[in-house]
Structure 1
Amino acid sequence: MIDPRHGDVILYSYLWAREHDRGEESGRKARPTCVMLIVAGKDGKPKPLLFPITSQPPRADARSIQIPETEARRAKLYTPAWVIVDEFNTDDLATSWAIEDTKPLGQFSRKFMSRIAVEAAAAIRAGAIRSVPRR
């Protein structure tokens, strides 16, 4: 369906970990979602990690990064907005039915993506991250 690039912000039917825990299998609405490509596995192919973006202030215990105005403009988002970094979906974006639109809304800069990666890595080291596979 799409060939995602690192830093793309797409409309994706994100499945929150709490919804997955209740047995739900699809997200309730399409939301802006940040694509982070990492190389994982023996095949050496990039694997997308999909981090949700929200306009609602995150829970006090959630790990998140507030999106600066310049980054929000690049991604065509309203502010205030946050990237949640303590959970993510994994999906095959080439065949996913959860993508709302094949054209990205916009893209975050490499510098901001590095910040997201650092925070996600810290959450992983702390054992405070959830991965929700979509397939």
Structure 2
Amino acid sequence: MNDGFRRGDIISYPYLWQWQVEENPDREHGEKDRPVCMILTITDKQGLTHLLLLPISSKPPFEGQDAIEIPGLELRRAKLAGYERGWITVSECNYDVLERSYYLAYGQKPVGRFSNAFLEKVRQAFAPFLAAGSAKVNRT
């Protein structure tokens, strides 16, 4: 696996939405690979890298979903050039462990990265949802 991931990196990942799990609790796979942002990366005492991943979409959030619109400069930094507009969802995330993941492609490199200033805005918006613990889809 790639041990060079860090907070703010954008990668491709088969994100599993919370609504998909609610429709089918046995579901294990997202519909497609999509860009996600690594909002948190923590290495534990065993050397395992725990990841929290926020989905990025070219479509506005739907009812009941909280997202931040991504400014044009950040879309370019993230190498999301095909997006006229983009949103990063902050009301849910996927949790995965890098070294044990079935979903991260071996040797995958980040495609881009958000700035620290934008990441701080995302982190502040995400923090209440993380603290509530209600919208974390466990992919381990």
Q: TM-score, normalised by structure 1?
A: 0.86
The count of aligned residue pairs is: 134
Q: Quick one: percent identity of the two aligned structures? A: 39
Q: TM-score, normalised by structure 2?
A: 0.84
Could you tell me how far 1:45 is from its partner in structure 2? 6.8
The aligned runs of 1:1-135 (5 Å cut-off) are: 1-3=1-3, 4-21=5-22, 22=24, 23-39=26-42, 47-77=50-80, 78-100=83-105, 102-124=108-130, 127=132, 129-135=134-140
Mapped partners of 2:100, 2:44: distance in 1: 19
CA-based RMSD: 2.3
Task: Show structure 2 runs of 5+ residues with no match.
Answer: none
Please tell me whether the aligned partners of residues 9 and 32 of structure 1 are also in contact (alpha carbons under 8 angstroms). yes
Alpha-carbon deviations, 1:53-100, whole Å to 9, x = none? 011111132111000001000001123110000000011123323124
Q: Secondary structure at the match of 2:84?
A: coil
Task: Show structure 1 runs of 5+ residues with no match.
Answer: none
Distance 1:46 1:37, change over 3 A: farther
